[in-house]
Structure formats: C-alpha cells, structure tokens
Structure 1
Amino acid sequence: MHTSRRTLLAATAGAAAAVAVGGGPSAAEDDDAARHDDKGLQALISRMTLEEKVGQLFVMRVYGHSATAPDQADIDANLAEIGVRNAAELIATYRVGGIIYFGWAHNTREPHQIADLSNGIQQASLAQPRGLPVLISTDQEHGIVARVGKPATLFPGAMALGASGSRTDARTAGRIGGAELRAMGVRQDYAPVADVNVNPANPVIGVRSFGADPQAVARLVAAQVKGYQSAGVAATSKHFPGHGDTEVDSHYGFPVIEHTEAQWAELDAPPFEAAVAAGIDSIMTAHIMVPALDPSGDPATLSHPILTGILRERLGYDGVVVTDSLGMQGVREKYGDDRVPVLALKAGVDQLLNPPSLSIAWNAVLKAVQDGELTEARLDASILRVLRLKAKLGLLEKPYVTHSGVDRAVGVPGHLDAADRIAERTTTLLVNDRKLLPLSRRTHPKVLVVGADPASPSGTTGPPTTVLAGALTSLGFTATALSTGTAPSAATIAQAVAAAGDADAVVVGTYNVTAAGSQRTLVQQLLATGKPVVAVAVRNPYDVAQLPDVHAYLATYSWTDVELRAAAQVIAGRVRPRGKLPVPVQRANDPAQVLYPIGYGLSY
C-alpha cells in the first residue's frame, strides 16, 4: 500500500474508529466528522473504475476454508458456480465489496481458521490496485440459525430471548456474540430478526422472531442492535418491511402479505422503527409482496415505493440496505437474474447479496450503467454508504485480526457462563399437572429421553435426545436416549413404548407436531403406558395445542445445547422456569380461541 493511500484511509477511518470503541465525540462533532470523512471517501470513489464500483456493490459466497488454498472439492464448486478457483480469484476478477460466510461452504470450521480466512481475503483485496478491505458477513442469529459453531459461544435464539423479555439479556447476547465475530474478522452480522411472528404457520421465521407483540419485539431488537454495534459489528435488522405473517417460505416461493397499510404500521413497522432509532448499521430486505405498500406486484427488494419511499424517506434511514439472498425464489419469480440486481439498485438497495450467477448479475449492472439505465452517481451513493460503514467498523484502518485476539474473545469461560445464565431465564413451563416437575431423583431416578432429532444447527454437540439425556445424567439421573425422529414409524414407536417400561419417567422432545403426524401418536402411546410424560418442544412452542394430555410441557425454542442444558436444569429443579410465552398458542381445533396467551408461563 502506498504511504499516501495509507494516510488517507487512516484519516477517513479515524473519527469513526473513535466512536466504535466508545467514549466518542458529541453528536455535533459526529456530524462534522462524517462530513470530513465523506470527502475522503468520495475521493476514493472518484479513483475507482466503473468495474471496481460495480464490484463494491456485491456480497458473494465462496467455497473453502482458505482464501488461496481451499480443498479440491471447494475449488470445483467455485469453478462450477462462480468461474473462479478461490476467494482471492473472486476478488481479483470481480472486486467484490463483501463476502458472506456459510458453514455449508466450509468457511467456518473453527475460530483460528475463520480468522485466517478473513485475513487472507483482506490481503487479497488490499493487494489489488485501489484495493479496499472487504466487509465480511454471516448469519449468526443464534438459536436455530448459526453459521459459526462451537467452540464459539452460542446463545439462545430470538424467541427464547423473547420468553425472557430481558433487554439486558438481548443486549448482552449481541455484545458477546458480536465481539466473537469481530475477533474472527466478521464485521457484519445479519441479525437481529425484526419480523413479528403473528402467524403460527410461518415456515421460515417462527422462533427466529422475538415474538408476536410488536412493541416487545421492538424493544428487544433495539437492545440487540446496541449490543452488536457496541462490539464493533454492524447489526442488520431483517426482513424489511416484515416477513412475520406468511405461510410461504420466500426461499422457495413468493409470499404475499395482505396487511393493510394501517396494519403494517401497527404490526410490522415498530421493530424496524426501533432499529433505525437505535442507529442500526444495515437493514435487509424481504422477497415478499405487500400490495398495500406497493400495488405493482414487485417484491419489496425491488420496490422503490417500499425501500425509498418508506424506508429511506418515511423512516429516515440512510444506512446500508442489503438484499436478502438473490438466489431465493421470492425475488426470481417475476424477473430474470439479469434484471433483479438492476431493479434492486433502482429501488434503493446498496448491497446485492449472493446472486445465483455473479457473472450475470455483475455484467447486468455494468451494462445498465453503460446504457444509461443506472447512473454512475447512483452507484456512488451506495458505495459511499458502504464505505462509511467500513470506516465506522475500523476496516479502513485495521482490517486484520490475530489468533491471540481470537483466544481472548471466542468461547471464553465468561461468555459461556453468560449464555447458560441467559438460557436459564428463557425455558417456559406451560403444563405441570399434579406438580410433576421438578422430577425427583428419589422417585424418578431412571429417565428415558425419546423424540425428534432434527438436523443439528451449529450450536449442538449431538442429537437433542443425546444432549438432553447427557445433561440429565450429569444432574444425577440415569438417563437413556432413544432417537425416534420427526416422523417415527410404527416400529420406532413400539420400540419407544417398550423402552418406557424400564423407566420411571419419559421425556419426549417434539418438533412441530401436527394433528395427523406420528409424533402425536408417539406421545399418546407413551402416555398410555401410565408413566409420567414430560414433553419438551424443541422448536415452535405451538406443539402443546396438539398434546392436551401430557403431564408436563416445556418450551425451549431451539434444540441447541445451551437451551437443552437449561431445560434439564428446569426438569431437575436446579433452576425455576422463568420464561413467559412471547407468542399466543391457539387451540388446535379452534384457532380463533387462545389456549395460552402471550405472557403465560408457570413456575414452581
């Protein structure tokens, strides 16, 4: 890097870096510093070629644990999907401004490797002419969505935090989670989810939401935004204008939200308004249609009335707007992959996330500028927002991380203890007939743990039945695990019933129970044995509506280790259940009737 350019980058980053570490300047000084910084950032933009500007707008996936030497299978995947061999070639070819990490792309094996990958990406980018640091992002929501697993600290997810209701806990989870991401070189987290889950049938949000009360969700979103950003990581509230009331997953279809404008303002808007008021660094769009906000039939990601008219102008937001993945069906339903990125920029987007074909998307934006459909000034406005964020996060000044920094921050005992204590405040007890819970080691020493073992998120060390049985055993019970799956066969159910004969109590993990599903049959047949049955919903808390006869029922909101350990503590009576439902549970045979309202939760 030339000395003059290093000096310029340091100057443009200086004021923002001071703010990031706390004790920064006053609001008036912030405004002056921002204006001063903009001049330096605009000078950087003025030196970019058009091709470099186009690249800065993209955030792209890339396979491999290393920026230059990934495994052969990852090289093959990169060549097939992107036309490059590795992250370094991706940067050299397209000059992307951002890269997103995924576990399935083999980016997140362990903390030191993640740090090395991040450093390799930064080195490759800064080595380019007029090279700039890359903004590295991931989806670390915690709960059921976590791209970075153990030994990093994994916290309860959003709905579990909603059951706690504690803004302090939400902020602490964000601050610690953010500090660990930053230590590994990840400076933008696509969290927290700001959707209000008012539809129990929502297939894509559910427990990723803090709950169904817009004002409660707004408070927790604001708290978590402040937590992440106090750690020097950009938080991202999603999915604007609100993905909470749908029965269609936008990964696979095109959801339509039928809220009126007044309903949107009451139900969907408050968490995003709170995020903006909290100084949110970035907001992610939703691939949904909201006819009341834009009758054109376009998804919100491509809607100028929604992104510019509402988000920019009405809500007054001038931070970074990032699309949800452009490979999702919801944004590809109406337009081709060459039109989607152009229309997103025209709508008001700044970052184009993970297009299915980067070549098609990149060339489409380039051609749109060359043809006059997009102006270079329009690109400059988005690049300025992105560079402002990079400066604020200290990337222009200190883009690299160290192994020693990882060791000081990631998965340290204090962080792990905080996660356990927070989880213990989230477990929710809805049924406790005849005060079955807590189980006594004297009267119920032998416990059979059966039930659903869904695919494990990053926050698990094994199947939920195994983790829960191990936790109960560590608390003095003799617990045996038997996985019956999410759709147990008649033979599997018979095996579980036979095993229950040797147990003093049965704990059954449930996962999205339906009226006609075999999980419900499993629970009914276990109840018929006469043994005490404790049901533990390991995802959505709505399962209780399908299980009216269980002796005790707990909601954990996820099957990650931290929440299963907390459930074991409650079952054993080591901690009292303190969680309160953040969503209502309707009667299975009459959804108009509420079985358990928001705020319901027993203790003992």
Structure 2
Amino acid sequence: MGLDPGLRRLALGTLLAAYPGPIPPDWAVDLVAEGLAGHTLFGTNVHDPGQVAASTAALRAGRPDVLVAIDEEGGDVTRLAHATGSPYPGNAALGAIDDVALTRRVYEAIGAELAGLGITVDLAPTVDVNTADENPVIGTRSFGADPVRVAAHSAAAVAGLQAAGVAACAKHFPGHGATVADSHYELPTVDVPLDVLRERDLPPFAAVVAAGAQAVMTAHIRVPALTGDGPATFSRRVLVDLLRHEYGFTGAVITDALEMKGAAVAAGGVGPAAVRALAAGADLLCIGAQVDAELVERVVEEIVGALADGRLERARVEEAAGRVAALAAWTRATGAAPATPTTLGYAAARRAVRVEGELSALDRPLVVQLHTASTIAEGRVPWGLGPHLDGVQELRVVAAETDAAALRRLAGDRPIVLVGRHLHRLPGGPELVTALAAAHPVTVVEMGWPARWRPAGVRAFVTTYGASHANGRAAAEVLGLAG
C-alpha cells in the first residue's frame, strides 16, 4: 500500500534535495512537479553560466515556484567559481575593510549573478562571530570577531542579496564561531551560559532578522545551556523560543545539511533527523549533497510515518510547508537587480590587504605555497598566487615534509615568499617559517584566518583575509609580482 498522496506532497514541500551532474535527471524534475520544495546546487552541478541557467529552467518546468539554492558566499566558499576561485573577497576581508556600503554592494553583485542564472536562495551570508582562532570550519567565512561589526555587515549582506531578488539565508544559528570542531564530522560543543551567547554570538542574528532576512539556517552544534545533549537543529528551545519568540523571526528556518554527522549521527540517520528537525520548528530540510530519488523517498516515508505514529503533528508540518511556500512566493515576486562588473570584487580585495614589515627587494622571489587541506564547505577550489604571477617561479610543498635548508639552496640569492592558509595551525608550518627566516629573507602571505601568531625574523607579514581568486590577485599586486 502506497503513501497517502496528500501526506506525501506535504512532506515533499519541506525538503531541499540535490542531484548529481550538470543536467537535472528526470527524477529530480519529477519530484519538483510532485511537490518537492527545491534543490541545492553544488560545484558538481556547475560547469558554466549557460548550463546553470538551462538547469534552473528545467527545474522551473517541473514547477514555476521551485526553490533553487546555492552556497555562494564569495571568498573561500563558492560554487559558481569552484573551478577558478571567487572574483569576490569573503566576509573576513569585507569585515577588515569595514565599509558597510561596500559589503552591501558586493552581496548585491553576487545576488544579481545568481538571479540572472535562475537561482532564488543563497545559503549565505555566514554571520557567525569567529571568536576561536582554531575554528576549522568558519574562519574567513566570518566578518570578524567583534559582534557589533559582524552584525552591521551581516545586515548589509542580507540587504544586498535581497535587493537583487535572491532570498538570503543567514547562518548558522545560534552561532558556530566559537567551535573548534567541524560539524560535518562530529557534533561540536559551545559550553557557555546563555548570557554569553546573547552578548557574543546572537547580535548578528538579531541584525539580520531586523534587516528582513527571508531565511535563517540552523547549526549542528550542541549548546548545553539550550540544547542539552543534542544539536541546535533539533532544539525547540533554540528554533522556537529563542529565534521566533525572543528575536521575532517570521521567515523560513532552513536546516544545515542533515547528512552531516553533527545531525545524522545524533538522530540515527537522515530520515529520523528530518523528523526531529521538523518537530523542533525547522521548516525546510536541507538533505545534503549526496542525494538520489531513493533517499528522498526514504525521508518522505519517515516523515509520513512520524505523522501516523504521533512523533509529528500535521499542523506543524503544514506550518513548515506554508513557510516554505511563502519563501518561494517571495522569490518569484521580487525583481532582479542588474549585474555588477566583477572588478568590484578585485578592488575590494585590494583594500583588505594588510602589510606588516617591509616589502622592498622582492626581485624575482621564489614563491612557495604550503599545501592546506580544504574543508567540505570550501571544496577543492584553486587558491594562492600562482594564477597571478608574471615570470616568477612557484613551488608547492607540504610543510611537514619540507627541509628548510633545501628550500634555501633552491632559492639561492632570491628572497622567498611563503604563502599559506591558517599557518599558525598548519602541521610543520610555523617551524618551517622560523627555520627559513633565521637565515634567509622571507615574506609570509597569510591567506587564512588572521590569528595572533607572527613568526620571528620575517621581513614582512601580509594578510589577505581570504584565499579567493580576488584575494590572490590582490596579494600578487601588493607584492609587485602580478602580471
């Protein structure tokens, strides 16, 4: 006996799925026609602008108000420019510049590009206050460590995106910035009193609510003072009492990907996680990137089963589906802004660069880029100075496997420019920099989160606040190495 068609459509209306490859398969479009809320696009779905526009048109043929979402944060997290790196600096750079009007213009430009491709929801901005230098998953995705500054730029980012006709989804509520674990792999804990959250982590969320953000994304983090042993995604106290009642949010609550271990392991699978998230007050359930028709049907069956056995109330699921429909209606009713030339992003990235020390005598340097693993959120996006160098030798090495004396011999009488991300916590990174600088002229370019660490003996320390294509170009220009 099959599922009740009405209940199946109701459950589908709360799900944000995904599909493999550059062309939506038939099942992905068929599910949209049957009531699926929408799909998220990932790098594997993006080859070129024409192809993306054709894909979104195919999805709209399934249903005109389908939601098409993407993680396009600019900076280190980009899907549209995953093959080259983003032409925009990320939030850390924008926060360092601290020009709120510029932040709005950058996000409006990103939104205009998305709107032109038929994408209706940007799973951005990241509004977490990055207070932990060791944070492995937020870092340069944050506007900074000051709640007031982050709040101002978060509101500007939301305003910019939504002026372009793309719904903003501020993330990750109630704040992922103080974690030292990645919720893709485990359930991080932020063990602080609620008063600390209100002063440190929550002001940006209050600001985006006031700015009219259409959506807020949950965090798969444990905050014992609020959530007990489970993640915020499954906490009614977080999603309803705090976000809706205390902060007055009326838009759609979107979950972070339920396939992430911070949610799936805690619930016992994606289907049970979907039920728990709905029960807690979430409206639109992001399943994740590895999705097929079978997984969608399993999640639907779990939701319908929960309606039958009392784990979920029908009124709660109807409320969730209604908020998702309202989000879809907003995206259809809002006109798109004209596209902005991408030179905006390169000029902004140049303004973010900070130089400590002396950059003279950088003639014909040996550029050494230290390998750094990417997070799941970032994906394998090219970074560094390489694409921007003019006749300069570049070498890519693993810090922990590299001999400083051998590098000095290779450089000879040339200075060394050492390029890295999060050098302060890169295995072997600080030791290699120190050993090189002790006997050779060294300039360091830090393209990750700007920690307090500064290596002894270097000629200059250059901070870009991100590793996007625009950040790399800006660094090469400041060093006088750009072609």
**Is TM (by shorter chain) over 0.5?**
yes
Which letter maps to 1:541? P
1:498 corresponding residue in structure 2: 409
1:332 Cα deviation from its structure 2 partner:
2.4
Q: Report the equivalent of 1:169.
A: 102
Partner of 1:333: 265
Match of 2:386 in 1: 466
| Structure 1 residue 87, shift from structure 2 partner | 2.2
**Which residue identity is paired with 1:423?**
A
Q: Which residue of 2 aligns with 1:479?
A: 392
Q: Give the direction of change, closer, same or farther, for the CA distance of 1:198–1:463 in structure 2 (3 Å limit).
A: closer
Q: Which residue of 2 aligns with 1:559?
A: 467
**CA–CA separation in structure 2 for the residues paired with 1:336 and 1:265:** 31
Structure 2 length as normaliser, TM-score? 0.90
> Contact (CA 8 Å) 1:163, 1:428: kept in 2 or not?
no
SS of equivalent residue, structure 1 residue 539? coil
- 1:343 is displaced (CA, Å) by 1.5
User: 1:446 and 1:334, CA in 2 relative to 1: closer, same or farther beyond 3 A?
Assistant: closer
Query: Mapping of 1:410-421 within 5 angstroms?
Result: 415-421=341-347
Q: 2:41 maps to which residue? A: 101
Q: Which amino acid aligns with 1:51?
A: R
Distance 1:488 1:364 in 2: 49
Give the match for residue 391 of structure 1: 329
* Structure 1 counterpart SS, 2:216: strand
Q: Where does residue 536 of structure 1 map in the other structure? A: 445
3-state SS, counterpart of residue 339 of structure 1 = helix
Q: Distance in 1 between matches of 2:116 and 2:100?
A: 24
Q: Is the 8 A contact 1:488 1:522 kept in 2?
A: no
- Describe how 1:442-453 pairs up with structure 2 within 5 A: 443-453=361-371
Q: Is residue 519 of structure 1 aligned with residue 433 of structure 2? A: no
C-alpha contact 2:32 2:38 (8 A) present in aligned 1: no
Structure 1: distance between partners of 2:379 and 2:72: 10
Shift of 1:331: 1.2
Q: Residues 449 and 153 from structure 1, CA distance in 2 versus in 1: closer, same or farther, beyond 3 angstroms?
A: closer
Q: Find 2:235's aligned residue among 303, 314, 334.
A: 303
Q: Retained in 2: the 8 A contact 1:488–1:519?
A: no
Q: Does 1:135 align with 2:62?
A: no
Distance, in Å, in 2 between the alignment partners of 1:533 and 1:506 is: 5
Matches within 5 A, 1:363-402: 363-394=301-332
C-alpha separation in 1, matches of 2:85 and 2:49: 7
- SS of aligned partner of 1:140: coil
Given the alignment, which residue of 17, 40, 43 partners 1:60? Answer: 17
Question: How has the CA–CA distance of structure 1 residues 164 and 514 changed in structure 2, closer, same or farther, with 3 Å as cutoff?
Answer: closer
Which residue in the other structure is 1:194 paired with?
Answer: 127
1:120 is matched with 58
Task: After TM superposition, list the pairs within 5 Å mapping 1:5-44 onto structure 2.
Answer: none
Structure-2 separation of matches of 1:486 and 1:557: 21
CA distances 1:278-317 after superposition (whole Å, capped 9, x unpaired): 000100000111121233x221101111100110111111
The answer on whether the counterparts of 1:451 and 1:486 sit within 8 Å (CA) in structure 2 is no
- Give, in angstroms, the shift of residue 171 of structure 1: 0.5
1:265 is aligned to 198
Gaps of 5+ in 2: none
1:396-447: per-residue Cα shift (whole Å, max 9, x none)?
A: x99xx9xxx9xx84xxxx5221111111111122x20xxx22x3xxx54322
Contact 1:59/1:351 (CA < 8 Å) preserved in 2?
yes
Distance (whole Å) between structure 2 residues aligned to residue 225 and residue 514 of structure 1: 32
Query: Would the alpha carbon gap of residues 110 and 208 (structure 1) be closer, same or farther in structure 2, given more than 3 Å must change?
Result: same
Task: Evaluate the alpha carbon distance shift between residue 368 and residue 111 of structure 1 in structure 2; reply closer, same or farther with a 3 A threshold.
Answer: same
CA change 1:113–1:487 in 2 (3 A) is: farther
Question: What is the match of residue 601 of structure 1?
Answer: none
8 Å CA contact 1:486, 1:511 repeated in 2: no
SS at match of 1:202: coil
Q: For residues 150-175 of structure 1, what are the alpha-carbon distances to aligned partners after superposition, in whole Å with 9 as ceiling and x for unaligned?
A: 68962111111111111111101110
C-alpha change, 1:516 and 1:424, in structure 2 (3 Å) is closer
- Report the Cα offset of residue 571 of structure 1: 2.3
The AA in structure 2 aligned to 1:483 is R
Q: 1:307 and 1:463 mapped to 2: Cα distance?
A: 36
In percent, how many aligned pairs have the same letter? 34
Letter in 2 for 1:551: R
Match of 1:361 in 2: 299
> For 1:428, which of 344, 354, 359 is the aligned residue?
354
Q: Distance in 2 between matches of 1:463 and 1:317?
A: 37
Measured after TM superposition, the shift of residue 89 of structure 1 is 4.3
The one of 209, 215, 235 equivalent to 1:276 is 209
AA aligned to 1:417 is T
| TM superposition shift of 1:242 | 0.7
Per-residue deviation, 1:266: 0.2
Q: How many residues align?
A: 468
Q: What is the TM-score normalised by the length of structure 1?
A: 0.73
Opposite residue 98 of structure 1, the aligned amino acid is G
Letter in 1 for 2:412: G
CA deviations on 1:224-249 (whole Å, 9 max, x unpaired) are 00000000001111000111111111
Check the 8 A contact 2:191/2:225 in 1, yes or no.
Answer: yes
8 Å Cα contact 1:427-1:554 kept in structure 2: yes
The reply to whether residue 545 of structure 1 matches residue 471 of structure 2 is no
SS at match of 1:145: coil
User: Cα distance, 1:463 vs. partner?
Assistant: 5.2
User: Aligned partners of 1:265, 1:293: CA distance in 2, in Å?
Assistant: 12
How far apart are the structure 1 equivalents of 2:120 and 2:50?
16
Q: Which amino acid in 1 is paired with 2:29?
A: A
